[in-house]
Amino acid sequence: MSGSTNALARASSSYLRSAMHQPVEWHEWSADAFDKAQRENKPVLLDIGAVWCHWCHVMDRESYENPEIAGLINENYVAVKVDRDERPDVDSRYQAAVQAISGQGGWPLTAFLTPDGRPFFGGTYFPPDDHYGRPGFRRVLSTLASAYREKHGEVIESAEQVMTAIDQAESFAGRSGEIPSSLVANMVKSAMQSFDPHHGGFGSAPKFPHPSILDLLIDYCGRTGDQQALNVVTTTLDHMAQGGVYDQIGGGFHRYSVDERWVVPHFEKMSYDNSELLKNYVHAYQLTGNQFYGNVARDIIRWMDEWLSDRERGGFYASQDADIDLHDDGDYFTWSLAETREVLSGQELEAATYHYDIGEVGEMHHRPEKNVLHVRAAPEQIATRMKLQPQEVEALLASAKQKMLAARLKRQAPYVDKTVYVSWNALCISAYLAAAAVLELDDVRHFALRSLDRLLSEGWSAEQGLKHVIAYSDSSAQVRDVTGLLDDYAFMVSACLDAYETTTDLSYYRFAAAIVQKMIDRFYDETGGGFFDTSRQALHASLGALTARRKPLQDSPTPAGNPAAAIALLRLHSYSGEQKHREIAESTLEAFAGIAGHFGIFGATYGIAVELYLRAHRQVVVIGRDEVARQLYRAALSPYGISKSVLLFDPDHVVERNLPPSLAQTLPNLPGIREGKSQAVVCSGFTCQPPVGTVKELQALMPAA
């Protein structure tokens, strides 16, 4: 190691650069690192983490910044550090390995590999010395170094067994079958069985959001009117939005709740959690008309606009950390009663402390006086207690919230990782476009389209395909050529189709078609069906566990790559009319049909894809720009439906030039379509009904579509 920095000083990732001053001789994931391990016949110590990960920073401080432990590592290992957000392909395989070894995964992921990258031991967080019922890192490092030298044959045998486990994880060989028509009903039943009727959500602590199953349930409610399913959706969305897992002052959702009541979160905020939950609240608003869900959606956008958006160039940032330093645990987001009294007084203080449950003793173990704000009492309850009118209490709470937010902005804020990932940006763009259409937010629509245009200009080329990263948090860092993964392609196709439906600009449809073709060329398994998460080209240069082929099916927590690809193909087919798009989607769904039902709510994106496959696609085309057209458009959007698309054309533009093949063959030839008045056309299964001019007529056609 030269000077005061290691090789990570040349890294682009924020997480890797944060370790550049550590005494460990870190390497990035590269052929050079594994070549060095083989030359020196040393095992590889692999650390996988993320800039937003609290326990990653704890292990950095306790172990990797400790000169004695660093010396032990440098003498016996080649050390490799990986950012799981930058390299999800590396992370997913070694997560499978460590789960096979230890029965648990997560971050930091600590794995011990042979010089060619095969894992033989691993775990997550290790304290420096024996503690918390976990073996100390010093002892683990010494023991495994000795085992590699003295029991080499056993180490190699163990590595081969673990590689077999990785190969089997999400390969699903021989699990194909017919696509089950009962799958969605069974997933709905599974969700109801694991539903927590008291607090909402699924299972017990810790509780994570599960946006895909919520969308599947929202669609199911819209089709069936099932009140039990509706109760699952509304109870979950209500409790999450009123809990501490939602930032009551700043807006936006934290990553998950450590308790079953949604009160105490892990405080990091991820772009993908907020994008998918934004969709849930928009879709719930479409289903129920409940303004509360619309307000939550607007509040998520407010936070994302302020903290996770590149307002100048377009694009969404990756995440916001939980903490400022290791002694902190959400201190930026939490409040003591004394801190609240410094900002509020009188009736505002009384209303806010009761509403947000702020007391002398809060929920945080490291600082018991700190409270996680959550909704304890509604304005009506507070009004009775304070002998005021509910609207007076609402005014007090609105004023208190603004003052508390202004005070919080004076605190040092946790770090925002400004890396722009293509896959996560595509999810955010789709969410923004959905919210813009339903809530009629023109600025939100414009920003989403500007962000998509940036992704297409900086992250896509017809020759090279998609990138995974188009910008790093450190603007001076070199943008590495991280090849796009299946998620990048599948999510981008849907974002482009969302943009086409929003703008009726056919260029977005053409981008979707081009990206789909590249996705098929690079990832599709023509023999076994389904899509690999990495391209064939990447396989030839693979290191370590990357030689294992993987076909992601389980949501974790973003939508899984294979069902997302099937959704993209089915949506495109509804416009292209090209049978190959539907056939590849069908073979993808068939490849997992024998096993998907076993995943329950964790397979919900597969359930959405099956629903899209089994039900005839619907397009509602509205032509006009007056208030009648707006009313038709609003009626077409409600309720939310997985298989429904809504397009609004300005009659001054040449409609025919902006129609994709399936609509171009039917729509212009309908009787009455050229009369010049605002009208709506319902198309289903490549057939269009005659145009109608009133909301009542449109609503009568919709259920039959």
The residue among 478 and 296 whose pLDDT is bigger is 296
- The Cα–Cα gap between 360 and 556 comes to 38
Query: Is domain 618-704 annotated with CATH 3.40.30?
Result: yes
Average pLDDT over residues 592-604: 93
The residue among 401 and 478 whose pLDDT is bigger is 401
Nearest one of 533, 468, 571 to 525, comparing CA atoms: 533
166: left (phi over 0), alpha (psi -120 to 50) or beta: alpha
Note the pLDDT of residue 174.
54
Counting Cα atoms < 13 Å in the Cβ hemisphere of 243 gives 28
Residue 451 tokens read as 């962000």
Model confidence over 317-354: pLDDT tens digits? Answer: 999 999 988 778 899 999 999 999 999 999 999 999 99
Note the pLDDT of residue 479.
80
Note the pLDDT of residue 668.
87
Query: Is domain 7-168 annotated with CATH 3.40.30.10?
Result: yes
Residue 292 tokens read as 């509360």
Average pLDDT over residues 545-562: 93
Note the pLDDT of residue 702.
85
Residue 327 tokens read as 């002694």
- The Cα–Cα gap between 610 and 562 comes to 12
- The Cα–Cα gap between 440 and 444 comes to 9
Q: Pairing state of beta strands 465-466 and 644-649?
A: unpaired
Confidence of residue 574 (pLDDT cuts 50, 70, 90): very high
- The Cα–Cα gap between 48 and 54 comes to 13
Torsion of CA 412, 417, 423, 426, to 10 degrees: 50
Note the pLDDT of residue 171.
62
Q: Pairing state of beta strands 269-270 and 319-320?
A: antiparallel
Token pair 């085309």: residue: 621
Counting Cα atoms < 13 Å in the Cβ hemisphere of 35 gives 4
Dihedral of CA 188/686/284/490: which sign? positive
Does residue 363 have a pLDDT over 70? yes
- The Cα–Cα gap between 444 and 423 comes to 19
Contact indicator for 51, 474 with CB cutoff of 8 Å:
no
Residue 690 tokens read as 């005659």
Note the pLDDT of residue 141.
96
Residue 98 tokens read as 């460590």
Note the pLDDT of residue 3.
58
Q: Pairing state of beta strands 78-83 and 44-49?
A: parallel
Does residue 164 have a pLDDT over 90? no
Average pLDDT over residues 549-576: 96
Note the pLDDT of residue 609.
98
Confidence of residue 2 (pLDDT cuts 50, 70, 90): very low
- The Cα–Cα gap between 351 and 361 comes to 18
Helices and strands in the chain, H and E counts: 27, 18
- The Cα–Cα gap between 574 and 588 comes to 17
- DSSP state letter for 48: E
Note the pLDDT of residue 676.
77
Q: What backbone phi and psi angles, to 5 degrees, belong to 223? A: -85, -35
Average pLDDT over residues 363-372: 93
Note the pLDDT of residue 175.
65
Note the pLDDT of residue 542.
78
Average pLDDT over residues 110-130: 94
**If DSSP states are collapsed to H, E and C, what string results for 658-703?**
HCCHHHHCCHHHCCCCCCCCCEEEEEECCEECCCECCHHHHHHHHH
Average pLDDT over residues 510-521: 98
Dihedral of CA 265/266/267/268: which sign? negative
Least confident of 113-127, 403-417, 535-549: 535-549
% of residues, the chain, pLDDT over 70: 98
How far from chain centre, in Å, is Cα 114?
A: 33
Token pair 């416009």: residue: 575
Average pLDDT over residues 581-592: 97
Give the helix/strand (H/E) hosting 245. Answer: none
Model confidence over 264-305: pLDDT tens digits? Answer: 999 999 999 999 999 999 999 999 999 999 999 999 999 999
Q: How far is CA 261 from CA 161, 296, 332, 390, in A?
A: 40, 19, 21, 26
Confidence of residue 535 (pLDDT cuts 50, 70, 90): very high
Domain ranges for the chain: 7-168, 337-411, 484-614, 618-704
The residue among 535 and 134 whose pLDDT is bigger is 535
Nearest one of 48, 92, 102 to 552, comparing CA atoms: 92
Least confident of 60-64, 396-400, 652-656: 652-656
Torsion of CA 436, 442, 444, 446, to 10 degrees: 120
Does residue 705 have a pLDDT over 90? no
Task: Let me know if the fold of 7-168 is the same as that of 618-704.
Answer: yes
Average pLDDT over residues 574-586: 97
Confidence of residue 1 (pLDDT cuts 50, 70, 90): very low
Note the pLDDT of residue 704.
47
Note the pLDDT of residue 541.
66
Note the pLDDT of residue 463.
95
Q: Which residues contact 684 (CB under 8 A, 6 or more apart)?
A: 616, 617, 618, 619, 705
A 10 A CB-CB count for 157 gives: 12
Does residue 569 have a pLDDT over 70? yes
pTM above 0.85, yes or no: yes
Note the pLDDT of residue 664.
92
Q: Where are the alpha helices (DSSP H) in 440-532?
A: 442-459, 486-503, 506-523
- DSSP state letter for 505: -
